[in-house]
Each structure stands twice: as C-alpha cells, then as structure tokens.
Amino acid sequence: MFLSLWAVWLVVVILLSIIEVMTVNLVTIWFIISGIITMFVSFILNDLVSQFAIFVLGGILLMILTKPIMDEIKKTKEEKINLERVIGMKGICTSEIKKDQIGEVKVDGKLWSAISTKRITVNSEVLVEEIDGVKLVVSKIKKERKVSVKK
C-alpha cells in the first residue's frame, strides 16, 4: 500500500497538470503543488485519509494565499488605442468647423476630422470631448482673460 499511494498522487499531479495546460487559467496550479507535497508526505505517512486532508487543505490554503498575487501577475495593462487616447487632449483648429459640419483639427501632431455643436474658427484652441465614429467631437477652449489689479 505504501508504494501505491505515492503513485496515486503522482497520477493526480499529472492529470491536474494536463488540465492546467489545457485551460491556461491557473485553475489547478494550487492543487498540483499540493499534490506534489502530498506525494512526498505519502513516504512518511501511510494514511490515505490524512493524505487526502493534506491535499485538499494544502490546495485551498495555497489558493487563498497566492491567488491575489497570481491575479496581479496575470493582469495586463490595458493601453488606450490611438483614438481613445486623444480624448481630453487639446488641439488647434486647422479648417473651420461650422455647427454640425465636419472640419479639421490637429491633435497630438496628427490631423483629424472633427465636428462641433458651435462654429470654431481656424487657429482656435479646441478640446477633444469624445469620438463619434472616426470624427472627434471638439469644443472651443475659452481663453481666460488675465485681470491685473492696480494697487
């Protein structure tokens, strides 16, 4: 019985490894590690119930302790695509934009088709508010007047 228990745990580890390779989502990795630990414990402890308890509790404990770390490692940084990253940027109107008609703006060194709900003249500074299809929706930036206070 002693020899067969470690073989059972070896088979469990191999099966869980195959499942892990097929899913690639770190589903069984904790129980693979727990199975390896239990396989070594089976050389010392010959009680199947105790080994199974070590396997289950070890897998759950490993999952609880390492899942947040693994999730952080797996997390990929989402980068905005070219269109999305221009939202909130300032630009210059290069072709007059009439109310609800297409004009042109230069944002981030590139020329874009743009629309606005108000007329915007050439060389006016604009702010990109959103994207409508492949056109930028812009608004004119009102320049604040500097008021000097005389003492």
Q: Please write the tens of the pLDDT for every residue from 1-57.
A: 445 788 999 999 999 999 988 887 777 888 999 999 999 999 898 888 999 999 999
Same-domain check for residues 88 and 61: no
In the chain, the percentage of residues whose pLDDT exceeds 70 is 86
Residue 60, domain extent: 2-74
pLDDT, tens only, 52-100: 999 999 999 998 998 788 777 767 665 656 567 888 999 999 999 998 7
Domain end (from 46, 74, 102): 74
133-139 mean pLDDT: 89
Beta strands in the chain (DSSP E): 90-95, 103-107, 110-115, 125-132, 135-140
The total number of structural domains that make up the chain = 2
Q: Please report the pLDDT score of residue 134 as a whole number.
A: 83
Same domain, 50 and 99: no
Q: Are 20 and 40 part of one and the same domain?
A: yes
Q: Do 60 and 103 share a domain, yes or no?
A: no
- Same domain membership, residue 8 and residue 63: yes
DSSP string, 83-106: HHHTTT-EEEEEE-B-TTS-EEEE
Say whether both 44 and 69 belong to one domain. yes
Domain edge (last residue) among 74, 90, 116: 74
Checking if the pLDDT of 144 tops 60, the result is no
| Domain CATH code at residue 121 | 2.40.50.140
Nearest to 138 by CA among 104, 7, 51, 64: 104
| pLDDT, position 34 | 95
Q: Is 20 part of a structural domain of the chain?
A: yes
User: What global pTM score does this model have?
Assistant: 0.48
In-domain check, residue 25? yes
Within a domain: 145: no
Q: Kindly tell me if the per-residue pLDDT of 103 is higher than 80.
A: yes
